[in-house]
């Protein structure tokens, strides 16, 4: 009898043995259907043996899911994810298993876009040098940072290098951070690489299409594979080039389940497959920038916009508060909007808060709308009037009077996209205003329809969140106004200023991308802050070098390695007891080891979420190896503490805490 050892998609650290029925060929790397308890699951075979200690309790493998087994590098990736991110093997292997599908259709050829006939503009000298460097790294592991100002043509560099990779018979994997960026990126691919088979993979694809595209990538018929973070796990038999666009984006970090970082796994895969990898960004993460400064990554720079008519937009500042500021708009921004409308150009107003107002407050006492399940304020929404929690989706009608003092004068506190849209419509009644945020783009194809409206110049003023901050190219958009940027400066997160400059640089880059000159107005009360000085001087490199020096002085990432133990329970006492015991266990394990430091428990920024009290413990080391040696031992000790009252997880290389 042959025994299959299977990683099943459950949060347990054990593998499961099944007997292989006669006539059924099962090998490591096969995805199989088998029963676990009363339910059938899809698991991944990690080994085949001739014996087992559980012979009398075995169940059979029901079926092999596909004829294509997962290749060695994908199986090794799953094992690495489990070991590095402290994830159960079944959950790690579930990431690489083929998606289930009830519908099987023939993969359609990509439609020919109108842009195919127009061709693509020639590369400038800096772009040509970048492509040459990428192509010269063919068939060898070479991490390259493509650092280019917004509008410098990084995508054109990717696609020119991809064309040569495809001509050599290889596949290209391109990762993008947002689902909304995939349609326009696919359009660019079709325009630059006519006749090339391109598939996309992201969570909004229907099950049948997702399986089709997975199969096309796995059997090598797809030449370009355009994906969000899950694409890093795809089998790609002819992989020749990996591209991570906007590599700094936090969307590449999975925030629940197996908390992997797709950019880092893309680097791991490129090294394993011995292929070049391009990390592109106008605002590289400090982790990537540190590697480039140390010479571990090759730095390729694009210092000018690709369109020779375009110039980097001028940055101006205006007061965020004051007697002249009405409906969140300073006179400077209001006048600039009027001028933009007068010459029939387009404007973007960026405010990174959706809803009508961040909270509702009483004018007579200190009451504000609080979520009963989270340590967060309820956000006021209009049409219909609701108070909503953006963390747990709790919804309630706004009260008619203050619950504490009975005052009926309840006021919206602050501005969100809905309130700003209303203010703009009042100030400029003849303007065509379009709001773009998560609330207006929930339906399928809504975002694409909005882009078409902007491209057709059926929109004068865009009001939106960070959904509009990157990857969009609107030739007639010449003015960007930024509101509420100062909120980031009050954050306790040590990465706050890094993220602020990255976000503002990206959103500012939407202005003046063609022959029309652009300008940016940032409303702030702290014009001399280093973040705003870096934005005004367009000197991200200098700003990043300054931040790296600060991180080294403070021994914070990327100058150190950290992991976070996060625990939650319904009772605060259970969380506190568990974390106190966890620290005691950790310090006992590290009694003779000073390479890893364990800090006392603290509450996270969101101390209560969905009715669960939360706490965390930070673990830090100057080097990766001691931390990775400690975490498995600590995890085993933690398993003896938790019982059933406390849920906990370890987040390695967290991006927020």
The answer to the question of residue 365 being in a domain is: no
* pLDDT value of residue 514: 83
The two three-digit tokens of residue 106, written as one number: 């023939």
Q: What is the share, in percent, of the chain residues with pLDDT greater than 90?
A: 78
Cβ neighbours of residue 557 closer than 8 Å, sequence gap 6 or more? 286, 287, 551, 653
Pair 507, 582 in one domain: no
pTM: 0.93
Cα–Cα distance for residue pair 159/165, rounded to 1 Å: 9
Residue 461 phi, psi dihedral angles, 5° rounding: -130, 125
Helices (H), 274-317: 286-293
Give the CATH number of the domain where residue 272 resides.
3.40.50.300
The answer to the question of residue 568 being in a domain is: yes
* pLDDT value of residue 541: 95
Q: Is 314 helix (H, G, I), strand (E, B) or coil?
A: strand
* pLDDT value of residue 273: 97
- Structural domains in the chain (count): 4
Cβ–Cβ under 8 Å, residues 274 and 140: yes
DSSP assignment, residue 380?
E
Quick check: bond before 58 cis, omega within 30? Answer: no
**Secondary-structure breakdown of the chain: helix, strand, coil percentages, each rounded to the nearest 5:** 35, 25, 45
* pLDDT value of residue 154: 95
Q: Label residue 397 exposed, middle or buried (CB < 10 Å: 0-12, 13-18, 19+).
A: exposed
Pair 334, 457 in one domain: yes
Cβ–Cβ under 8 Å, residues 510 and 477: yes
Pair 429, 525 in one domain: yes
Write down the number of H helices and E strands in the chain: 17, 28
Pair 457, 570 in one domain: no
Cα–Cα distance for residue pair 649/85, rounded to 1 Å: 10
The answer to the question of residue 248 being in a domain is: yes
The answer to the question of residue 370 being in a domain is: no
The answer to the question of residue 308 being in a domain is: no
Helix (H) or strand (E) run with residue 597 in it? strand 596-598
**Domain boundary residue, one of 550, 583, 605:** 550
Pair 604, 509 in one domain: no
> By C-alpha distance, which of 189, 292, 199 is closest to 248?
292
Cα 398 from chain centroid (whole Å): 33
The two three-digit tokens of residue 592, written as one number: 């003779």
DSSP string, 412-451: EES--HHHHHHHHHHH-TTS-EEEESTTTS-STTHHHHHH
Pair 323, 225 in one domain: no
The two three-digit tokens of residue 283, written as one number: 């605002």
Domain hosting residue 37, numbered range: 3-94
Using only C-alpha atoms, what is the Rg of the chain?
A: 26
* pLDDT value of residue 153: 93
Cβ–Cβ under 8 Å, residues 580 and 345: no
The answer to the question of residue 541 being in a domain is: yes
Helices (H), 120-251: 125-136, 154-167, 182-192, 207-218
The answer to the question of residue 108 being in a domain is: no
Tens-digit pLDDT profile for residues 336-376: 999 999 999 999 999 999 999 999 999 999 899 999 999 99
Helix (H) or strand (E) run with residue 226 in it? strand 224-227
DSSP string, 486-525: GGGGG---TTHHHHHHHHHHHHHTTS--SSS--EEEEE-S
**What is the bridge-based pairing of β-strands 519-523 and 477-483?**
parallel
Strand order from edge to edge, sheet including 395-396: 379-381, 386-388, 395-396
Cα 229 from chain centroid (whole Å): 8
Give the CATH number of the domain where residue 78 resides.
3.40.1440.60
Pair 269, 180 in one domain: yes
Cα–Cα distance for residue pair 345/476, rounded to 1 Å: 5
Number of C-beta neighbours around residue 429 at 10 A: 8
**Domain boundary residue, one of 497, 527, 550:** 550
Cα–Cα distance for residue pair 148/131, rounded to 1 Å: 13
> By C-alpha distance, which of 22, 17, 29, 31 is closest to 1?
22
Pair 252, 210 in one domain: yes
Pair 422, 535 in one domain: yes
Helices (H), 180-258: 182-192, 207-218
Q: Which residues of the chain have pLDDT under 50?
A: 101-118
Give the CATH number of the domain where residue 629 resides.
3.30.70.360
**Domain boundary residue, one of 94, 127, 155:** 94
> By C-alpha distance, which of 528, 470, 464 is closest to 504?
470
Cα–Cα distance for residue pair 371/362, rounded to 1 Å: 16
Pair 346, 208 in one domain: no
Pair 486, 530 in one domain: yes
DSSP-assigned beta bridge partners for residue 648: 567
Pair 220, 320 in one domain: no
The answer to the question of residue 165 being in a domain is: yes
Cα–Cα distance for residue pair 176/268, rounded to 1 Å: 17
Cβ neighbours of residue 534 closer than 8 Å, sequence gap 6 or more? 501, 540, 542, 543
> By C-alpha distance, which of 471, 468, 500, 467 is closest to 486?
500
């Amino acid at each position: 009898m042959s025994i299959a050892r299977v990683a099943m998609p459950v949060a347990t650290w054990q593998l499961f043995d099944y007997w292989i029925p006669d006539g059924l060929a099962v090998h490591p790397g096969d995805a199989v259907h088998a029963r676990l308890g009363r339910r059938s699951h899809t698991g991944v075979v990690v080994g085949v043996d001739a014996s087992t200690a559980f012979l009398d309790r075995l169940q059979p493998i029901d079926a092999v899911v596909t004829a294509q087994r997962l290749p060695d590098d994908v199986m090794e990736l799953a094992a690495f994810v489990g070991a590095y991110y402290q994830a159960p093997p079944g959950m790690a292997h579930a990431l690489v298993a083929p998606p289930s599908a009830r519908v099987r259709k023939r993969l359609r050829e990509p439609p020919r876009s109108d842009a195919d006939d127009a061709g693509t503009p020639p590369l400038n000298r800096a772009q040509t040098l970048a492509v040459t460097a990428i192509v010269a790294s063919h068939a060898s592991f070479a991490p390259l940072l493509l650092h280019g100002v917004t509008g410098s043509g990084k995508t054109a560099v990717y696609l020119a290098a991809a064309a040569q990779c495809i001509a050599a018979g290889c596949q290209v994997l391109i990762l993008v951070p947002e689902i909304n960026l995939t349609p326009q990126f696919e359009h660019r691919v079709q325009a630059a690489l006519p006749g090339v088979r391109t598939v996309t993979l992201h969570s909004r694809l229907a099950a049948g299409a997702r399986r089709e595209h997975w199969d096309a990538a796995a059997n090598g018929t797809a030449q370009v594979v355009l994906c969000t973070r899950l694409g890093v796990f795809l089998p790609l038999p002819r992989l020749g080039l990996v591209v991570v666009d906007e590599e700094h984006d936090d969307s590449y970090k999975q925030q629940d389940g197996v908390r992997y970082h797709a950019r880092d796994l893309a680097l791991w895969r490129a090294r394993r497959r011995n292929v070049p990898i391009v990390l592109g960004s106008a605002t590289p993460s400090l982790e990537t920038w540190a590697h480039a400064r140390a010479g571990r990554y090759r730095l390729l720079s694009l210092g000018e916009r690709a369109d020779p008519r375009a110039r980097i937009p001028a940055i101006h500042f205006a007061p965020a508060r004051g007697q002249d500021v009405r409906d969140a708009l300073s006179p400077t921004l209001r006048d600039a909007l009027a001028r933009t409308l007068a010459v029939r150009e387009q404007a973007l107003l960026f405010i990174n808060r959706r809803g009508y107002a961040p909270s509702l407050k009483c004018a007579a006492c200190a009451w504000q709308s609080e979520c009963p399940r989270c340590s967060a304020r309820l956000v006021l929404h209009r049409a219909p009037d609701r108070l909503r929690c953006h963390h747990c989706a709790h919804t309630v009608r706004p009260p008619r009077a203050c619950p504490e003092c009975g005052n009926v004068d309840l006021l919206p506190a602050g501005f969100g996209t809905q309130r700003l849209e209303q203010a703009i419509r009042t100030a400029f009644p003849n303007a065509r205003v379009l709001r773009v945020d998560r609330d207006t783009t929930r339906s399928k194809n809504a975002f694409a329809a909005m882009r078409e409206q902007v491209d057709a110049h059926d929109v004068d003023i865009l009001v939106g969140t960070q959904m509009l901050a990157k990857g969009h190219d609107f030739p007639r958009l010449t003015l960007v106004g930024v509101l509420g940027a100062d909120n980031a400066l009050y954050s306790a997160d040590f990465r706050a200023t890094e993220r602020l400059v990255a976000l503002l640089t990206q959103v500012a880059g939407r202005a003046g991308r063609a022959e029309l000159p652009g300008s940016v107005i940032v409303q702030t009360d702290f014009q001399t802050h280093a973040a705003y000085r870096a934005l005004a001087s367009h000197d991200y490199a200098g700003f990043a070098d300054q931040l790296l020096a600060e991180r080294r002085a403070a021994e914070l990432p990327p100058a150190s390695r950290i992991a976070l133990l996060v625990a939650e329970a319904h009772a605060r006492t259970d969380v506190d007891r568990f974390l106190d015991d966890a620290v005691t266990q950790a310090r006992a394990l590290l009694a003779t080891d000073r390479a890893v430091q364990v800090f006392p428990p603290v509450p996270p920024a969101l101390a209560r979420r969905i009715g669960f009290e939360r706490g965390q413990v930070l673990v830090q080391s100057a080097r990766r190896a001691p931390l990775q040696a400690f975490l498995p031992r600590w995890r085993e000790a933690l398993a003896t503490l938790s019982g059933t009252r406390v849920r906990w997880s370890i987040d390695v290389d967290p991006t927020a805490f």
